[in-house]
Structure 1
Amino acid sequence: MLDIDEMGQREIQGFLQQVGYGHLGCIHKGKPYVMPMHYYFDDPAIYLFTTEGMKTHDIDTNPEVCLQIEEIHDPLHWRSVIVNGRADRLTEQQDIDRAMQFIKERNPTQIKP
């Protein structure tokens, strides 16, 4: 029998800090749509980076999203967290610069000069 334990808040925060990638769920033309994304967790915010396109259009249309993060070692040893929230675009340049710095530190291949 599979034994499933709930993670506490501190464990969830550590997990979000550690992993850095997950699956973003949003609504595309009225239907659920999930795509892989890198993220940066700076409690309580989660920063995502994407170029203009389908994801940004979908989020502008309906900003309610979820992010599912998982770590699978084998079928009996895995962890998963789902975060629900509202996606907002950064509009202030200092916030954009700070988020870009997070992304560069976490995943330097995402941003090319």
Structure 2
Amino acid sequence: MLGILKEEDIEKLLKEQYIGRLACYAHGVSYIVPINYVYSSSTVYAHSAPGQKIRMMKSNPQVCFQTDQIRDTFNWKSVVCWGKFEEITDATEKQRVLQGIIHKMMPLTNTPSEQPSHGTGKKDTYDEDIIVFKIIFHLKTGRFEINDSVE
């Protein structure tokens, strides 16, 4: 059975997942990449080294974001959101977002004692080159497929 996710199911999926795909468009070029993220209040928080996606989002801040939960071919949920990129420049907010990402990601790694490559080092400050940003959503939609057949 195919269906449309309810708002509360969209919110639940966005909060539960930690990897999404970020799509940007600038100067006639489309670009989509996976990102680690934290979600709260219709906003995705993420980070990046300087590069293609940051240049593109600064040029055209309108982006698309997608995440999903796939159990198998006929049992999945997917959310697509549209929003606006904003770079976070306040040092306190940057550190808070980076710590939130690390706290969400570290329990999921096979080697949690290893040095994370998520913008923080052994010191208590963030890497100066890391770009911390948020995507503020103005539209969210979701779909699902469930195969209820019992074998």
Q: Same fold (TM over 0.5)?
A: yes
Deviation at 1:21, TM superposition (A): 0.7
- Considering only CA atoms, is the larger Rg found in Structure 1 or Structure 2? 2
Q: Distance in 1 between matches of 2:26 and 2:105?
A: 27
Q: Which has the higher contact order (CA 8 A, sep 6+)?
A: 2
Report SS of the residue matched to 1:60. Answer: helix
CA RMSD, 1 decimal: 1.3
Greater fraction of residues in strand: 2
Q: Can you give the 5+ residue segments of structure 1 that lack an aligned partner in the other structure? A: none
Corresponding residue SS for 1:88: strand
CA drift of 1:104 comes to: 1.1
Aligned residues: 111
CA distance in 2, matches of 1:78, 1:44: 22
Unaligned runs of 5+ in 2: 107-115, 122-151
Cα contact 2:61–2:86 (8 A) shared by 1: yes
- State the AA in 2 paired with 1:57: R
Q: Pairwise mapping of residues 1-113 of structure 1 onto structure 2 (< 5 A)?
A: 3-108=1-106, 109-111=116-118, 112-113=120-121
CA contact (8 A) 1:68 1:82 kept: yes
Aligned to 1:87, the other structure's residue is in SS state strand
Query: Following TM superposition, by how much is the alpha carbon of 1:81 offset from its aligned partner in structure 2, in angstroms?
Result: 0.2
Given residue 63 of structure 1, which amino acid in structure 2 is its aligned partner? P
Query: What letter matches 1:4 in structure 2?
Result: L
AA in 2 matched with 1:83: C
- Using the size of structure 1 for normalisation, the TM-score is 0.90
Greater helix fraction, Structure 1 or Structure 2? 1
The one-letter code sitting in structure 1 at the alignment partner of 2:28 is G
State the distance in 2 between where 1:80 and 1:13 align. Answer: 11
SS of corresponding position for 1:5: strand
SS of the residue aligned with 1:49? Answer: strand
Contact 1:104 1:110 in 2 (8 A): no
Runs of 4+ with >3 A deviation: none
TM-score (norm 2): 0.69
